[in-house]
Amino acid sequence: MMQEEAPLAVHYPKAEEVIAAKEYTFRIMTRLPGPVEISLDKGPWLPCRPAIGYWWYDWMCDGEGEHVIVARVFGEDNEIAVTEPRTFIVERGRGK
């Protein structure tokens, strides 16, 4: 039996990924029409931009250490899908 694909997923960053760059672009996949928003470290919801079949958010890495991303998408009939929180790490001078 095939597992059904989630309606929303954070493709990048991967869980526990180490980001060494000053700028990073998050990639979100959804089967729902959108729009898509992300929240970083329990902050406000930020709008993503659609392009080439994904939703993207360009981020200026504003501090070293652990960060958490959550994404949400608005679908038809006021449906809202939300991802589980995903932790990633900003560490200058090092990357995975």
Domains of the chain: 8-90 (2.60.40.10)
The mean pLDDT of 29-52, rounded to a whole number, is: 96
More confident: 19 or 4: 19
Place of tokens 């009939």: 77
Q: Which two tokens stand for residue 25?
A: 């672009």
Indicate if the pLDDT at residue 3 is higher than 60. Answer: no
Quick one: pLDDT at residue 61? 85
User: How far apart, in whole angstroms, are the C-alpha atoms of residue 29 and residue 8?
Assistant: 6
Indicate if the pLDDT at residue 1 is higher than 50. Answer: no
pTM above 0.85, yes or no: yes
Quick one: pLDDT at residue 92? 78
More confident: 25 or 76: 25
